[in-house]
Structure 1
Amino acid sequence: MVLSFIVGLLAGIVTLILKNITFTIHSLLEKGIVFTDYHLYFILPVVGLLLVYLLKKYVFRKELKPSIPSFIKRSIPSLLYSLLRQKGLISFRLIYHPLILAPLTVGFGGSVGLLGPAITSGSALSSNLGSLLRVDKKTRTLLIACATAGAMASMFKSPIAAVVFAIEVFSLDLTFASLLPLLIASISSVLTSYFFLGDEVLFNFTVSEKFYLKDTLFYIILGIGTGLASLYFTKVYFAIYAFFEKLKTKFLRLIIGGLAIGVMLYFIPPLYGEGLSFITNLLEDHTLEAIGATPFDDYIDNIWMVIVLLIGISIFKTIAMTITFTAGGVGGVIIPTMVMGSALGNAIAKMINNIGLGFHVSEANFTLIGMAGLIAGVIHAPLTAIFLIAEITGGYELFIPLMITVAMSFLITKNLLEHNIYTQELAKRGDLLTYNKDKNALLLMNLDRIIETNFIAITPEMKLGEILSEAVAKSNRNIYPVVDAQNKFLGIILLNDLRKIMFDQKLYDKITASDLLENAPAMIFYKKDTMEEIMKKFETSNAWNLPVIYEGEYHGFVSKSKLLTAYRKKLIDFSGA
Structure 2
Amino acid sequence: MPYSYKKIKIPLLWLRRHTSDREFMLVSSVLVGLTAGFAAVVLKTLVHYIQALLAYGNRLLDQPYWLVVFPLIGILLTVLVVTFFFRGSIGRGTANILYNISQKSSLVERHKMYSHVLTSAITAGFGGSAGLESPIVVTGSAIGANYGREYHLNYRDRTLLLASGAAAGIAAVFNAPIAGVLFAIEVLLTDISISAFIPLIISAVVGALCSKIILQEDILFNIGQREFFAAEHVPFYVLLGILCGMVSVYYTRTALRVEELFEEYQTKILTRAIVGGALLGLLIMLFPPLFGEGYDSIRLLEAGHAEQLLQDSWLAFFGTNEWLILCFVGALALVKVFATTITIASGGNGGNFAPSMFVGASTGFFFSRLVNLLNISNLPTSSFAMVGMAGILSGVMHAPLTAVFLIAEITGGYTLMIPLMIVAASSFALVKYFEPYSLDTKKLAQKGQLLTHNKDRTILRIMKIRHLIETEFQPVSPEATLGELVEVIAHSRRNLFPVVTAGGKLDGVILLENVREIMFKTEKYELVKVKELMVKPPATVQYDDSMADVMKKFDESGAWNLPVLHGDEYLGFVSKSSIFTKYRRLLIKTTNVS
Shared fold (TM-score greater than 0.5)? yes
Shift, 1:198, TM fit = 6.2
Shift, 1:460, TM fit = 1.5
2:86 aligned to 51, 60, 70, which one?
60
Could you tell me which residue of structure 1 aligns to residue 555 of structure 2? 539
Distance 1:400 1:287 in 2: 26
Q: Deviation string for 1:151-187 (max 9, x for gaps)? A: 0100001111111111000134342321000100011
Shift, 1:502, TM fit = 1.9
1:518 aligned to 2:535?
Answer: yes
- Cα root mean square deviation, aligned: 1.9
Distance 1:321 1:62 in 2: 21
1:23 aligned to 48, 63, 66, which one?
48
Shift, 1:204, TM fit = 4.2
Could you tell me which residue of structure 1 aligns to residue 164 of structure 2? 146
Distance 1:575 1:61 in 2: 34
SS at match of 1:493: strand
SS at match of 1:61: coil
Could you tell me which residue of structure 1 aligns to residue 13 of structure 2? none
SS at match of 2:591: helix
Could you tell me which residue of structure 1 aligns to residue 225 of structure 2? 207
1:472 aligned to 2:482?
Answer: no
Contact 1:172 1:178 in 2 (8 A): no
Distance 1:227 1:170 in 2: 22
Contact 2:116 2:135 in 1 (8 A): yes
Contact 2:155 2:590 in 1 (8 A): no
- Residue 178 of structure 2 aligns with an amino acid whose one-letter code is I
SS at match of 1:521: coil
1:156 aligned to 2:174?
Answer: yes
SS at match of 1:38: coil
Q: Deviation string for 1:190-217 (max 9, x for gaps)? A: 1111221366674443333221121111
Distance 1:449 1:58 in 2: 35
1:114 aligned to 121, 129, 132, which one?
132
- 5+ residue gaps, structure 2, are 1-25
Distance 1:491 1:363 in 2: 71
Distance 1:156 1:243 in 2: 33
Could you tell me which residue of structure 2 aligns to residue 184 of structure 1? 202
- Residue 210 of structure 2 aligns with an amino acid whose one-letter code is T
Q: Deviation string for 1:332-388 (max 9, x for gaps)? A: 21001100111111111110100133x100100011011000000001101111101
1:43 aligned to 2:69?
Answer: yes
Distance 1:492 1:137 in 2: 41
Could you tell me which residue of structure 1 aligns to residue 9 of structure 2? none
Distance 2:312 2:536 in 1: 71
- Residue 542 of structure 1 aligns with an amino acid whose one-letter code is G
SS at match of 1:502: helix
Distance 1:568 1:279 in 2: 49
Shift, 1:300, TM fit = 3.8
- Residue 510 of structure 2 aligns with an amino acid whose one-letter code is I
Distance 2:129 2:216 in 1: 28
Distance 2:470 2:44 in 1: 53
Could you tell me which residue of structure 1 aligns to residue 20 of structure 2? none
Distance 1:493 1:270 in 2: 71
Shift, 1:401, TM fit = 0.7
1:381 aligned to 2:399?
Answer: yes
Distance 2:429 2:580 in 1: 36
1:429 aligned to 424, 432, 447, which one?
447
Shift, 1:496, TM fit = 2.1
Shift, 1:35, TM fit = 5.0
2:38 aligned to 13, 32, 41, which one?
13
- Residue 29 of structure 2 aligns with an amino acid whose one-letter code is S
1:294 aligned to 2:313?
Answer: yes
Shift, 1:51, TM fit = 1.0
- Give the 3 Å change call, closer, same or farther, for CA 204–188 of structure 1 in structure 2: closer
Could you tell me which residue of structure 1 aligns to residue 525 of structure 2? 508
1:87 aligned to 2:90?
Answer: no
Could you tell me which residue of structure 1 aligns to residue 430 of structure 2? 412
| Equivalence map 1:244-263=2 (5 Å) | 244-247=262-265, 248-263=267-282
Q: Deviation string for 1:3-24 (max 9, x for gaps)? A: 0011111111000001111111
- Residue 272 of structure 1 aligns with an amino acid whose one-letter code is F
1:456 aligned to 474, 483, 486, which one?
474
Identity fraction in percent: 37
Query: Comparing 134-143 with 26-35, which one deviates more in the overlay?
Result: 26-35
TM-score by length of 2: 0.91
Shift, 1:299, TM fit = 3.0
Contact 2:83 2:89 in 1 (8 A): no
Distance 2:268 2:245 in 1: 35
Q: Deviation string for 1:237-292 (max 9, x for gaps)? A: 11011111122412221122122112211211111111010101111111111343
| Equivalence map 1:397-408=2 (5 Å) | 397-408=415-426
Contact 1:291 1:310 in 2 (8 A): no
Could you tell me which residue of structure 1 aligns to residue 565 of structure 2? 549
Contact 1:277 1:290 in 2 (8 A): no
Shift, 1:441, TM fit = 2.7
Shift, 1:444, TM fit = 3.6
Distance 2:432 2:75 in 1: 34
Query: Comparing 386-395 with 559-568, which one deviates more in the overlay?
Result: 559-568
Distance 2:248 2:219 in 1: 27
Could you tell me which residue of structure 2 aligns to residue 71 of structure 1? none
- Residue 539 of structure 1 aligns with an amino acid whose one-letter code is D
Distance 2:56 2:357 in 1: 28
Contact 1:14 1:121 in 2 (8 A): yes
Contact 2:139 2:166 in 1 (8 A): no
Distance 1:322 1:224 in 2: 24
- Give the 3 Å change call, closer, same or farther, for CA 368–161 of structure 1 in structure 2: same
Contact 1:156 1:201 in 2 (8 A): no
Contact 2:163 2:184 in 1 (8 A): yes
Could you tell me which residue of structure 2 aligns to residue 489 of structure 1? 506
Report how many residues are paired: 566
Distance 2:530 2:539 in 1: 20
Distance 2:120 2:167 in 1: 19
- Residue 563 of structure 2 aligns with an amino acid whose one-letter code is P
SS at match of 1:193: helix
- Residue 336 of structure 2 aligns with an amino acid whose one-letter code is K
Distance 2:307 2:177 in 1: 33
Shift, 1:39, TM fit = 4.5
Contact 1:35 1:41 in 2 (8 A): no
1:218 aligned to 220, 236, 239, which one?
236
Contact 2:175 2:209 in 1 (8 A): no
Could you tell me which residue of structure 2 aligns to residue 561 of structure 1? 577
- Give the 3 Å change call, closer, same or farther, for CA 522–555 of structure 1 in structure 2: same
